[in-house]
Structure 1
């Protein structure tokens, strides 16, 4: 990214934090280990979409806990408790809301609610529900929140990027192997034919190694159809996967060294062969205005309390040191 960063700052006065409470949700210990992480994210997202007055986020460093922030009267209503019980999870006693917990829950909630208008890709939010299919330059922003006891500072940096979907040629697979793969739906491209097998996996953009490429979903995958993949990615990340034609369905088995011998299956559209490419931003103002307009639509209230964002951006500048005399 460019060394010169143009961060636009917006401010929001927060409601009295003493009118809010925080709680921790712990998922059922009966969940299979392979389902814990996805259940954590799904439950977290269901909470914040079902109940506009709740902010939530997975507890960092855990696979089975969720932080939630809400107004004290909402907590006392028992609505949240009833939902959590139906999920077989447990709810801890409410605690005071710290700026740190509020920042974590607000950041996750806003990111979730902005999709698919703005989609998480690494540390970026990329504009457009069809961003997975775009090959040219795209609009994106870097969103940072900073919460104090009384105020929220929203930092937005507009970017111009490319994040094109991959072609099989990107992975240094021979033309003959690609031709055979395209002509026979039962053909599998194995690891030894994939000379450049590192890839970037959305939405985190973490790196993994491609083990094989197939037209058929591997039997070890929990999904049985492309439609199930579409539902999964929408439920977990808000992504709208492209409507693939039957003959173009391609699946990759990916290995992540820290996780071990388990392979994960991804549609080709959820993989990238290269990191994000950045370009000089010529029309930052229009991208910024578009993002802030969408943000204001999704952030008119905080836990039921109306909030108002400053209408004009302030700009962060580096402090200038006085020259020695």
Structure 2
């Protein structure tokens, strides 16, 4: 009878242990399901982040293309304006050169006219001397009148020569001023051409730098995406390792507990549970587990 009771107690303890193991297995399965759900949520969050990153990259590229287009248009407009100003200055320089050539021609004509006047004066002076020599001695009044006429004509010619010399000096001064202005204008044109060349070179350099930066930015974005993917995979691996090792730890604890109950102290739970749980909880636990632990032998007994 006592052996039968011991066997029944062993059977009941084994049933309790089996139920506990089943419950622990269910808990582990539920934990695994929760872990899988968390992993799915993390993957979905990573995909959403990647989509947002791609959208931001597309927006950045679009804005950069718009900025480059506006910059190119502004630079083209500035270049056209500078070309127009350069053409206008070249036209003004050509006009100045034409004016200087015209003034040079006038100067040459004035020089020729002055030379002719001097020749005429010399001829008239020779004629006057000849007339004085040819005048007879007996007509002093006529000689005086002719001398007065010659003196008046000489005075008029001298006045004309003075006017011509003044015009010549004025024209020479104008030519010098025009030459000075042309030199200054040529210097300014050279400076403007140098500035245009430097601006053109700066624009080309800025284009090359912008192209290099545009090439580097996708590489940097790809590196960022790769780093984010690495971080996501590393985070998932860490979570999986944590859950895996925790489950292994609990399984080992349960196996040690099962071996201890099986081999060392079968009454461990019976001795520990009253110390840990209250009477009400023990009664509820007993009512819950009692139907599964009792043997259904009423149908087998003889009536």
The higher-RCO structure (CA 8 Å, 6+ apart) is 2
Return the index of the structure with the highest Cα Rg: 2
TM-score with structure 1 setting the length:
0.16
* TM-score, normalization by structure 2: 0.17
